[in-house]
Structure 1
Amino acid sequence: MNSPSRKPRVAVVFGGRSSEHAISCVTAGSVLAAIDPELYDVVPIGIATDGRWVLESGDPERLRIEGPDRLPAVDGDRATIALAPEASSTGLVVTEPSQPPRMLGDVDVVFPLLHGPWGEDGTIQGMLEMAGVRYVGAGVLASAVSMDKAYMKVVLAAAGLPVLPSVTVTAREWERDPAGCRERASTLGYPQFVKPARGGSSFGISKVHDAGELDAAIAEAVRFDPKVLVEVAAVDAREIECGVLQALDGTPETSLPAELRVGGDHEFYDFAAKYLPGESTEIDIPADLPDDIAAEIRGLAVRAFEAVGCEGLARVDFFVLADGRVVVNEINTMPGFTPTSMYPQMWAASGVDYPALVDRLIRLALARDTGLR
């Protein structure tokens, strides 16, 4: 922990090796702009797409989307960072070409703003646990389970939460027995969604209207993940999201639920509808729901949070089906924090503005123990 004579040092880690590299950068830009420099000493650390850790720019303007072909990325040419855990503290060693290594300083907490595999899936959390470093958000198991949508469904269903039927197809199964995979997928009926089991930001997702579209959809999903989820499409359902945030005593609290409605040429909430400016997605906060449905969603959000063992924060996504039933779509342990992301918008509407949200997450991380909890 930090000494009373200095501010807590927060390492904001972003970028990463996944297909969501650019979205992680945008998220980091928003968080860096929101952290109070009077309260925290901030160290921006980027992970390049080749896996190198570098001391990055803290300029939020460099980390924003300027268009579909102008996405931000970590500058891999910057000074390399090495994590150097010691007996009593965690330091960051900065190494530069032709220069001796120099110690950047102790880090009190890491804010891992990584989306997708090699970051949101428990990998960086495991590394930080091994090093005895405090960090924001869910631990190893909750991160891994929530990232893998197939296992997430198993865990949620075992806890009695309603989920949509699905089947899992691996790249190996698809190569060995495509006819068998098609037969299993067909038991779900059509339409259906095919998606990478461990992806996010709508990369690799296809809506399949009939059996003739299945092969291309699986091929697209496999480009992002050798494990593919084929899932029943929730026809005419309303898409509702709810934020979960722990209070400083650990109690999970829920935001007002929000509804998103995708318009224009988007058949579902794809990458462009989520992140690109000028798209026709509409968001209602709070969602116009009957009181009992809103209460059910908030209760299920807490149950999902606790079922996977989350910490800090999560966004839980739901479908309200045409017959009024509520089902859990997925849980995100590190939801997007971009200016257009639902999670911070829901909490702002619930009375917790962006800077206060970021501050609470850091304070929660600083207060919790390292090791088994």
Structure 2
Amino acid sequence: MEIYLVGGSVRDKLLGKKPNDLDYVVVGSSRSELLDLGYQAVGRDFEVFLKNGHEYALARTEKSTGKSYTDFECEYEQVSLYDDLSRRDLTINAMAEDQNGQIIDYFNGQKDLENKILRHINNAFCDDPLRVLRVARFAAELEFRVDERTLELMTNMVACGMLEHLKPERVWMESQKALASNNPRRFFEVLDSCNALELVFPELYALKDIEQPAQYHPEGDAWVHTLLVLDEISKYTDDPVTRFGALVHDIGKSIEPMHAHCENGAKIVKQMAKRLKLPRKYKEIGVLAARYHMYYHKLDELRASTILKWFALARAYRNTPRFEQLLLISLSDNNGRGKGPKSKPKQGLEKIKIILAMITEINNIDYPKLRSQANNQSHFLQLIHRERLAIVKRKQKGLEDL
């Protein structure tokens, strides 16, 4: 029995990163032997074995039996390390390290790591449609380029309809990881380059070639703007939830008329969330960003009462952290315009600071004191509104000075 460290664990070590998990493959053993040695078997689809906090899998080969990524037959008898590694997706994920620290690299994965290339191992790559999204995600995480022949295979897989059988949960799992990556726009660019964007994210694909007013958006169409906004938000946060809000903030521009894109966008985000079975927090920030991002841009010309209306509609008092996400998305929207008018980074962050100070001060109003001064409920609400107006008007002076 031989045990090897494999896959992403080896890749990350060679890149100088600490692996999130250590995955091992066991060659020359069997299920019964591992159980006799104290390993614990877990997993329904692909059985693995746990011991001392690490995960071990018997070396195996796989044969596709259908169109889904789960449609495989596994063979465990007389499987070599080479056989096991050759079933993997990319050369950089098909290396092993033995117990002496020696790297075993049958497919030149180290060379592809050095050259920053994502390259498939063999045509068995086509057996798993999820690999199209995985390659796009690795391109975003590692900022590597996709080998031309690999991209051609991915394009053929899309053309053959293989991605139509992916479950929404799997699509979102890869997308969520990509949104948290070093360069999330690369994920969507790679999907677009192999014609998968239209299939996987039709709502985003619909933004391509949507013209915008040149005086506000000299950068180009609504899709170009969306990618620039994704770049901008990535400067401020690596939170995938906030980045998702930035991704979908203008999604309503695919529907005429353009001036109704905020409300249309909120509807599209809800449909998208249902289709992809998005977690609630993604749906909520997406709807919030689509519906209310424009208030930020008009803040200088809004009356204090309208600003209070914005706070109420966006539930700024109840969920200030989420409202802060909206402000970062709005700032990124303002700056994602190519050579168009932008806020200076410090100026934009100072603007957000002032807005959040309004919220904080409003939340700290002595409401019991106001209630004691009120003659009735209607009077109480009037006093609250008057106090909030005074706070906003006082803070507006700080906005004028920016």
Identify whether the pair has TM-score above 0.5, normalized to the shorter chain.
Answer: no
Which TM-score applies when normalising by structure 1?
0.25
Relative contact order (C-alpha < 8 Å, sep 6+): which is higher?
Answer: 1
Which TM-score applies when normalising by structure 2?
0.23
Higher Rg: 2
Larger proportion of helix? 2
